[in-house]
Amino acid sequence: MLVKICGLSTPRDVEVAVEAGADALGFVLSSSSPRAVSPERIRELVGVAAGAATTVLVVHDVSIPEALERAREAGVEVLQVHGYGAAQVREASAAWPRTWRARPASAGPARVGELGEEALLLDSPVPGSGETWDLGLLGTTPEGRWILAGGLSPENVAQAVREVRPWGVDVSSGVEASRGVKDHGLVRAFLEAARGA
């Protein structure tokens, strides 16, 4: 199972996540997120990862052409798009080798790859809020590469994995000491709990 730690902002965050066994590392490019980092910092953090985990640029309020440019500059492997329309997701998927699409699980049934994406991330109704949500909203879980996100923490990830059997899990606020600041002990605990499930 893929485990992604998102919203990393310091070299030590990256080192801890890699040492603890994260499969993917998320870096946020956004004008509104407390986890946002500059394109220059993202490039630095990708260098720290040094190929030890999949690097992901997470975007939601920049144009697709800008997102693609930033992804190229940073040297990330995956472009993860949040809140974009179908045409924009198709544009990103056609232009970038690996694109992940994120959407609220409450938006109804979704099929992995229907807009050209490699993986589908199903999130809480308020992405990045850290709020837990009713996994019953998923209805029938998608087939293929889908990632569960939203309100996960070291305390609940194992149960969530057992309940809905995702291809991967994604955490950000559930491993923070304060909004936007990672707690390295919680990062390690999350990875241990997710792997143990």
- Name the catalytic one among 13, 23, 123, 170: 123
Cα gap 172→149, rounded to integer Å: 9
pTM of the model: 0.95
Q: Which of 51-60, 75-84, 103-112 has the lowest mean pLDDT?
A: 103-112
Strands (E), 83-197: 99-104, 119-123, 146-149, 168-171, 176-178, 181-182
- Name the catalytic one among 6, 13, 23, 170: 6
Fold of 2-196: TIM Barrel (3.20.20)
Residue 134 designated active-site: no
Cα gap 43→45, rounded to integer Å: 6
Residue 123 designated active-site: yes
Q: What is the pLDDT of residues 157-187, one digit of tens each?
A: 999 999 999 999 999 999 999 999 999 999 9
Mean of all residue pLDDT scores within the chain: 93
Mean pLDDT calculated for residue range 37-56: 97
Cα gap 134→40, rounded to integer Å: 37
Give the pLDDT confidence score for residue 125 in this predicted structure. 66
Give the pLDDT confidence score for residue 166 in this predicted structure. 95
Cα gap 93→81, rounded to integer Å: 10
Q: What is the pLDDT of residues 11-45, one digit of tens each?
A: 999 999 999 999 999 999 988 888 999 999 999 99
**Contact 187/26 with Cβ under 8 angstroms?**
no
